């Protein structure tokens, strides 16, 4: 896990690639007169600056940390003129989040894997919440009770009016009395109560953040979040767009100036003054919104998919500063005679686009579900209500009894799941694509199905959430929100790193102990009672089971069994040490045996017991004895001959 109580000081080690990167940075640093650390201005960026300070052995008291949230000449020059020291409280807050995630991943996952008998299953603060959302939605769908309801539409020449029944309801939102609705559908004569003209307007959507870009990539272009981010990464590397991992909708002043200059030259309906959006309370604002680096570049990208995504980004950015779309709206209220003592009223509404504004560039919000966007854009657009005079009586041509039924909530798509995680303050822009990839392709907790690429839980996804839900607090939706508040307390000096992690570690340890005492393992080991773990088949061998108490160093329970259609089968014969010596190193040989099962053959061979010391020699089994004349790995002498 790399971190231990009671101090919870992480033990950092270099990856193989990390060693090379650090060595190169240290060499370059030795050639420099000074170094500025210019990583992102959020907590993660502050932590990166601190790690660089550590490996480059820079003085922590030096004012060598600069920050900016837009890559423009003005912003960078201002940052260089105002260096500061590294904010160690921000570093502590970021490190605390990493350690909490480490606790959950390394402490909970092995226990859950043992209980469920699946060594590939894992738990995580964010990924498990993503799976829970989909599982909960599927439970809602399965538990949905259909409610049949009714409405009435009066038909006139070229327009219609809908029955307004909500004031007659005592709570609820649907009219379920079919007999009464049929009486309303018999109405033909109505009186005009009012007819009013007004206008309404629609503002454009905000510039793209990471989550809305992923939604637009999915809903408009059919890309999953991972592909959208890969394409955006390539556009960024080509210098075509700004940084694509951001939770902000803000645009720099330089960007706004360029948008307005281009828009006016192109004759677009620009605003008089820039439109701004307020970021969410949980936004760190390390970068501005995702936008073209140069507004006057209308096409960019080296592939057609890159060009498609760039066009979405360009239109969204420029469209954000265009005028509102305006609609002329006419609303007519009609009444009929009371039915069974109840007032009967109809409303007719028409809506006509009179000024395109931002819709001249992009007709709908590309981040919305296409069906929802089309329905919202078309609503009341086909109804041509004439100018009516209050007090006049009208005769309807016909009336329709509109039958409907309630539908279960729709399944999440990859895009809507990301949006829901964002709404709940769970996950960060840099992690959304990886989260979706983990819970679908890597772990198989969710499956993508249908033309709309909807998400459904798999059997193992359901098992995971069912066993976690009742036993661990991190699966609760407000866990991350509370954690973020506590991390902010560390960043502001109101909470200490050690005290927060002590609380989290103790609670998690208590939950694990209680979990182990009350939840029975799915497949107990016949020898020791611990859980058996499933090992999937590989190219080199079939599936099998082993005891979770087994230690690779040879300590603990050594029970293992064959697989029988996903269940532990017959116990496998354990390796037997023999009197035969390895021809390569002289250590004793081990007799490896797997008995045949229905539909699958067995095998026997002799392997060197010095495998862990590096000898990987093995020999065929010839009537229970090793054929030392046919080693799998030939000796150097034999190879030379």
Residue 515 confidence (pLDDT) above 90 = yes
Average pLDDT over residues 179-189: 96
Peptide bond into 297 cis (omega under 30): no
Tokens 């697989």: give the residue: 563
Give the CATH class of 16-92: alpha beta
The CA radius of gyration of the chain, in Å to the nearest whole number, is 33
Torsion, Cα 388 389 392 393, to 10 degrees, reads: 10
Residue 445 confidence (pLDDT) above 70 = yes
Residue 367 pLDDT = 83
For residue 243, indicate whether it is catalytic: yes
Give the torsion sign (CA, 130, 133, 139, 144).
negative
Residue 608 pLDDT = 87
pLDDT in tens, 399-425: 999 999 999 999 999 889 988 998 888
pLDDT in tens, 605-634: 888 878 767 788 889 988 888 999 888 875
**Architecture of the 93-142+412-518 domain:** Orthogonal Bundle (1.10)
Domain(s) of CATH 1.10.290.10: residues in the chain: 210-319
pLDDT confidence band for 540 (50 / 70 / 90): low
d(CA 316, CA 290): 9
Strand partners for 593: 604
Residue 131 pLDDT = 96
Name the percent of the chain lying above pLDDT 90.
61
Between the two ends of the chain, the Cα-to-Cα distance in Å is 49
d(CA 390, CA 385): 14
Tokens 């797997």: give the residue: 594
Residue 394 pLDDT = 95
d(CA 427, CA 357): 35
Average pLDDT over residues 351-374: 86
Residue 234 pLDDT = 96
DSSP tag of 363? S
Of 369, 440, 400, which Cα lies nearest the Cα of 150? 400
d(CA 376, CA 371): 9
d(CA 471, CA 640): 62
Contact 355, 203 (CB under 8 A): no
pLDDT in tens, 52-91: 999 999 999 999 999 987 777 888 899 999 999 999 999 9
Residue 157 pLDDT = 92
d(CA 249, CA 266): 24
Residue 281 confidence (pLDDT) above 60 = no
* Catalytic member of 14, 243, 393, 412: 243
pLDDT in tens, 232-274: 999 999 989 998 888 888 898 889 999 999 999 999 999 999 9
Q: What is the 3-state secondary structure (H, E, C) of 61-86?
A: CCCCECCCCCCCHHHHHHHHCCCECC
Residue 213, both tokens? 């870009």
Residue 640 pLDDT = 35
Residue 636 pLDDT = 43
Q: Specify the length of the chain in residues.
A: 641
d(CA 110, CA 117): 10
Residue 265, both tokens? 């030259």
421-449 burial: b if 16+ Cβ within 10 Å, else e: bbeebbbbbbbbbbbbbbbbeebebbeee
Contact 22, 48 (CB under 8 A): no
Of 312, 324, 326, 314, which Cα lies nearest the Cα of 358? 324
pLDDT in tens, 575-603: 667 888 998 888 888 887 766 655 556 77
pLDDT confidence band for 24 (50 / 70 / 90): very high
d(CA 505, CA 627): 55
d(CA 23, CA 300): 36
Residue 574 confidence (pLDDT) above 60 = no
Residue 635 confidence (pLDDT) above 60 = no
pTM of the predicted model, to two decimals?
A: 0.78
Contact 492, 510 (CB under 8 A): no
**Architecture of the 210-319 domain:** Orthogonal Bundle (1.10)
Domain(s) of CATH 1.10.460.10: residues in the chain: 93-142+412-518
DSSP tag of 627? -
d(CA 480, CA 470): 17
**Architecture of the 148-203+325-405 domain:** Distorted Sandwich (2.70)
Residue 637 confidence (pLDDT) above 60 = no
Residue 634 pLDDT = 58
d(CA 466, CA 476): 13
Residue 42 confidence (pLDDT) above 80 = yes
Quote the mean pLDDT of the chain: 89
Residue 595 pLDDT = 64
Residue 47 confidence (pLDDT) above 90 = yes
Give how far the C-alpha of residue 246 lies from the chain's centroid of Cα atoms, to the nearest Å: 14
Contact 97, 500 (CB under 8 A): no
Contact 353, 366 (CB under 8 A): no
d(CA 361, CA 494): 48
Domain(s) of CATH 2.70.20.10: residues in the chain: 148-203+325-405
């Amino acid at each position: 896990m790399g971190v231990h109580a009671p101090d919870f000081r992480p033990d950092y080690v270099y990856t193989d690639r990390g060693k090379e990167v650090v060595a190169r940075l240290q060499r370059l640093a030795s050639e420099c007169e000074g170094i500025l650390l210019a990583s992102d201005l959020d907590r993660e960026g502050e932590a990166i600056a601190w790690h660089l300070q550590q490996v480059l052995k820079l003085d922590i008291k030096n004012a060598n940390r600069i920050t900016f949230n837009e890559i423009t000449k003005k912003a960078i020059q201002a940052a260089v003129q105002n260096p500061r020291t590294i904010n160690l409280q921000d570093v502590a807050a970021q490190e605390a989040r990493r350690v909490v995630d480490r606790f959950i991943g390394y402490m909970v996952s092995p226990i859950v894997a043992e209980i469920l008998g699946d060594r590939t299953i894992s738990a995580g603060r964010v990924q498990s919440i993503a799976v829970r959302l989909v599982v909960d939605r599927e439970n809602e769908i399965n538990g949905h009770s259909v409610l049949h309801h009714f409405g009435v539409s009066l038909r006139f020449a070229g327009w219609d009016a809908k029955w307004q029944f909500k004031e007659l309801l005592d709570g609820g939102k649907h009219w379920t009395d079919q007999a009464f609705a049929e009486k309303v559908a018999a109405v033909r004569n109505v009186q005009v109560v009012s007819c009013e003209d007004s206008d309404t307007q629609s503002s454009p959507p905000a510039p793209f953040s990471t989550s809305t870009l992923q939604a637009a990539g999915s809903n408009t272009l059919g890309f999953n979040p991972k592909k959208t981010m890969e394409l955006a990464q390539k556009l960024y590397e080509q210098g075509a767009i700004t940084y694509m991992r951001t939770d902000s909708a803000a645009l720099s002043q330089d960007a706004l100036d360029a948008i307005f200059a281009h828009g006016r030259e192109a004759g677009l309906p620009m605003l008089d003054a820039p439109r701004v959006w307020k970021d969410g309370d949980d936004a760190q604002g390390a970068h501005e919104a995702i936008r073209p680096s140069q507004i006057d570049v209308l096409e960019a990208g080296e592939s057609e998919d890159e060009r498609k995504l760039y066009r979405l980004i360009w239109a969204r950015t420029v469209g954000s500063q265009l005028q509102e779309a305006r609609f002329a709206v006419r609303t007519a209220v009609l009444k009929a005679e009371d039915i069974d003592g109840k007032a009967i009223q109809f409303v007719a509404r028409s809506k006509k686009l009179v000024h395109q504004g931002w819709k001249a560039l992009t007709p709908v919000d590309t981040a919305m579900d296409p069906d929802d966007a089309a329905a919202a854009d078309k609503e009341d657009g086909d109804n041509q209500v004439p100018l009516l005079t209050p007090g006049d009586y009208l005769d309807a041509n016909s009336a329709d009894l509109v039958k409907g039924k309630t539908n279960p909530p729709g399944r999440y798509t990859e895009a809507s799941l990301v949006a829901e995680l964002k709404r709940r303050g769970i996950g960060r822009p840099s992690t959304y694509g990886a989260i979706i990839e983990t819970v679908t392709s890597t772990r198989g907790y969710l499956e993508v199905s249908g033309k709309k690429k909807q998400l459904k839980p798999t059997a193992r996804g359901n098992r995971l959430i069912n066993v976690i839900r009742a036993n661990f607090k991190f699966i609760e939706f407000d866990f991350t929100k509370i954690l973020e508040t506590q991390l902010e307390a560390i960043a502001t000096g109101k909470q200490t790193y050690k005290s927060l992690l002590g609380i989290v570690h103790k609670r998690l340890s208590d939950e694990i102990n209680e979990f182990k005492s009350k939840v029975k393992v799915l497949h107990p080991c016949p020898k020791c009672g611990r859980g058996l773990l499933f090992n999937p088949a590989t190219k080199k061998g079939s599936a099998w089971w082993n005891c979770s108490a087994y230690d690779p160093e040879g300590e603990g329970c050594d029970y293992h069994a064959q697989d029988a259609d996903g269940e532990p089968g017959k116990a496998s014969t354990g390796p037997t040490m023999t009197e035969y010596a390895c021809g390569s190193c002289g250590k004793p040989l081990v007799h490896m045996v797997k008995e045949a099962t229905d539909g699958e053959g067995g095998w026997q061979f002799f392997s060197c017991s010095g495998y862990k010391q590096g000898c990987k020699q093995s020999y065929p089994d010839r009537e229970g004895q090793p054929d030392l004349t046919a080693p799998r790995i030939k000796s150097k002498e034999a190879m030379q001959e």
